[in-house]
Amino acid sequence: INISVFPPSNACIGRYILNIQITSCGHTYQRCLGDFYVLFNPWCADDPVYMDNQAHREEYVLNEHGILYEGVHKHITSRPWHFGQFEDGILDICLKILDMGASYHHGSDRDHCWRNDPVHVSMVVNHMISSHTTNSIMKIPENNDYLKGTKPFSWNGSVPILQQWYNGRCRPVRYGYCGSLASVMCTVMRCLGIPSRVVTNFCFPCSLENPLGINEIFDCTGRNLCGKDRLWRYHCWNESWMARRDLNQCCGDWQCLDPTPLETGRGSACSGPTWVRSIREGELDLDYDGHHMFSRVNSNYVGWLSQNNAKKTKFFCDAWPCGQHLITKSVGSEQFEDITGAYKYELGSVKNKEAYYRAYRRIHPGYCNASNCHIERELSSLKNPFLSESGINMRLKMANCPMYGEDVQLHWLLENLRSENKNLKFNLCAQIITYSGYPMDQFWKDSVNVTLGPREVKKIPLCISYSQYGPYLSDHNIMKVVAVSDPECGEVLMVSRDIVINRPPVIVKLLSQPRLKVPCTAEISFCNPLQEDMKNCVMTLEGCGLFKEPMTIDLGTLASNQQARTIVEFTPYRLGSHRLLANLGCHKF
């Protein structure tokens, strides 16, 4: 007997048991034929997650390989990630996540009725990633202290994280960061049949007091002080495709889901789902957490100079607006796609201003009846004055693309826009900044007297040696260089530059063509570029369909300029597109 099962499009997702009852010659007996799983179906036009583009379905549902984008908006770096949604046991783990988080919105999960709605399913998954009090999948280290767990940037994929959570009696995995949290959520959503992708937003504000303003405070040396607000250099979240019945949507569209718990002034919480189009239009009343998501791509930057911890002065600068670059992996390509236009209209356009005014009235109830001109005057009073208004233009331009072990070379460009001489004294400094905007050690300081003749342009070379920044960099490969004028000279001018230090590459070379259930070999090579030993070197290898568990190779200590080569053997155990990932960790990073 051949039996076909056609579940309706509104069936609850999950594991089902199929029994058959047979009556013959007055006798009735039952037999269990087995179990089967019902998932959301983006190929079915009646399903709320239906996606009509085949190439998009292949990318956002079937593709197990992704790319995470990191760095800063002027220097974007990338690294591969294994989603692994089709690995053995992952589907059962994803359903366990729904079981553990079922009470989040519904109190009881007796009838499972909410499991046919991708909105509620996404809310439960979003909450379970890192916000659940006891059983969340992953934790973010407090105060960048991860000595009692795994380094957040050492993960290559979602599968080991989900397996460790499941095998560890659903206790949180320590530790992750926004990129790994968003990627694990993407794995779970794709596994359940919901098209999903990871998005990176550069210049991401996190403010406790003013939802539409981010404040950074500096001292007279240019050192970034630790205030209440944070300007994250980048932040990753998840987008999932679904038709929102609660918003009367008849067709699917991207919904924003941020699983990273962020401080909101009322405690930390994850965000979403929020309709991406409602963020662009400033329609914040439509959706969950709309005002949080709008502020994260539309906040104004305000910089202050603190003098003797008492007086604070706005300085002249050309601030990069928050949320001006949002990217994700392109469909069928290793390149990134700029999706900023999906979140906001072009800066300064009429539609951009209309959406901002609309959102401003909803975020600040005191302005609900204010005119556009009134709001614009209020915004102008908050912003920093531009450098050009002081008669000076400045910028820091990279002269090289530094890697670990190399000196950082910059050109400091100054231009006098006036017809009179300018005599200025500048304080310069460099300090380590975490990706989440937390200022670390200040390791370099200098002071320079600059004289500019009328309309003169001057280029000043700056060099920060590896011996100066190397001992402080650790896992945080971002530094901030600042030049700020002495307040005694009159107007306070500032220019800054975030610099990414690239990690040395690990080279993977296949020595034979991978074939199903046939042993295959690969060569992994790495060269120590530092003028010192690299201690406690450990290589971690991972690959969907290649390794059932990550392989760890202890390389010990690598001397300066020493080349390490390792031959590994593996046997592909399932068909598909395979990618071998190698990650090196040591006492330096």
CA-derived radius of gyration, the chain: 27
pLDDT digit string, tens, across residues 81-116: 999 999 999 999 999 999 998 877 555 555 578 899
Look-up: residue for tokens 């495709």? 241
What is the CATH architecture assignment of 54-381? Alpha-Beta Complex (3.90)
The catalytic residues are 178, 235, 258
pLDDT digit string, tens, across residues 388-421: 899 999 999 999 999 999 999 999 999 999 999 9
Task: Kindly report the backbone phi and psi dihedral angles of residue 103, in degrees, each rounded to the nearest multiple of 5, phi listed first.
Answer: -80, -5
- Percent of the chain at pLDDT > 90 equals 65
The predicted structure's pLDDT at residue 321: 75
Residues 292, 312: Cα–Cα separation, whole Å: 28
The predicted structure's pLDDT at residue 368: 87
For residue 283, what are its two tokens?
Answer: 């329609």
pLDDT digit string, tens, across residues 313-336: 899 888 777 888 999 999 999 999
Question: Residue 68: pLDDT band by 50, 70, 90 thresholds?
Answer: very high
State the amino acid at position 238 in one-letter form.
N
Which stretch of 140-149, 246-255, 258-267, 441-450 has the lowest confidence by average pLDDT? Answer: 258-267
Average pLDDT of the residues in 174-180 = 95
Contact call for residues 433 and 498 (beta carbons, < 8 A): yes
The predicted structure's pLDDT at residue 309: 66
CATH 2.60.40.10, applies to 506-585: yes
Residues 484, 447: Cα–Cα separation, whole Å: 10
Mean pLDDT for the chain overall? 91
Q: Which residues contact 212 (CB under 8 A, 6 or more apart)?
A: 295, 298, 299, 300, 359, 360, 363
For residue 537, what are its two tokens?
Answer: 């070197």
The predicted structure's pLDDT at residue 107: 52
Query: How far from 391 is each of 380, 397, 426, CA to CA, in Å?
Result: 20, 20, 16
Q: If we measure between CA atoms, which residue out of 376, 372, 377, 360 comes closest to residue 295?
A: 360
Q: If we measure between CA atoms, which residue out of 484, 268, 501, 489 comes closest to residue 396?
A: 484
pLDDT digit string, tens, across residues 540-575: 999 888 888 888 999 899 999 898 899 999 999 888
Residues 153, 589: Cα–Cα separation, whole Å: 9
The predicted structure's pLDDT at residue 266: 58
The predicted structure's pLDDT at residue 442: 94
Q: Report strand pairing: 173-174 vs 138-139.
A: parallel
The rounded Cα 281 to chain-centroid distance in angstroms is 23
The predicted structure's pLDDT at residue 330: 97
Please give the residue that has the higher pLDDT: either 188 or 213.
Answer: 188
374-396 exposure pattern, b = at least 16 Cβ within 10 A, e = fewer: ebeeebeeeebeebeebbbbbeb
Helix (H) or strand (E) holding 290: helix 290-298
Asked if the domains at 54-381 and 506-585 fall in one CATH topology, the answer is no
Average pLDDT of the residues in 244-250 = 88
For residue 395, what are its two tokens?
Answer: 């910028």
The predicted structure's pLDDT at residue 589: 78
Q: If we measure between CA atoms, which residue out of 187, 196, 193, 157 comes closest to residue 60?
A: 196
Contact call for residues 114 and 120 (beta carbons, < 8 A): yes
The predicted structure's pLDDT at residue 586: 85
Assess whether pLDDT exceeds 70 at residue 36. Answer: yes
Indicate the CATH number of 387-500 among 2.40.10.340, 2.40.50.140, 3.30.450.20, 2.60.40.10: 2.60.40.10
Average pLDDT of the residues in 303-310 = 82
Residue ranges covered by each domain of the chain: 54-381, 387-500, 506-585
Q: Which residues contact 169 (CB under 8 A, 6 or more apart)?
A: none
Assess whether pLDDT exceeds 90 at residue 378. Answer: no
The predicted structure's pLDDT at residue 143: 75
Contact call for residues 198 and 329 (beta carbons, < 8 A): yes
